[in-house]
Amino acid sequence: IPPAHCPPDVEQLGQATWAFLHSAAAYYPERPTPHQRANMLNLLHALPVLYPCSHCASDFGEKIKQHPPDVSGQRPLSRWLCERHNEVNEKLGKESFDCHKTDERWRDGPEDGSCD
């Protein structure tokens, strides 16, 4: 792990980006306005162009083409993103994440209150 004052490596960049994306999805409205939908689509479609890990970006671009983002509301968007993250997990030999736990992980925290 590079020290905090060093530029992020691919792992740190990934952790930070997933935290942002899952958090944005967790707090996305249940009934987004057309403006909110359009901006979420822009954000997601910008990743294959601008994400600063070129092979990550191009693979993610292919996945987005196969599975277009569902920006119709918080649940479908969080689900869609969880599935895309699981595709990356699978590619890297990491454990699959249970997508039923997305809200707990990124918005509500565990029931035991340990994150309150």
Q: Which stretch binds ligand FAD (CB under 6 A): 36-44, 54-62, 65-73, 107-115?
A: 54-62
List own/partner pairs for 63-67 with CB under 8 A and 24 or more apart. 63/87
Binder of ligand FAD out of 26, 40, 44, 56 (CB under 6 A): 56
Closest CA to 102 of 44, 39, 45, 27: 27
- Does residue 55 contact residue 63 with C-beta atoms inside 8 Å? no
Which residue ranges make up the site for ligand FAD (CB under 6 A)?
A: 10-11, 14-15, 17-18, 22, 47, 51, 55-56, 59-60, 82, 85-86, 88-89, 92, 94, 97, 102, 105
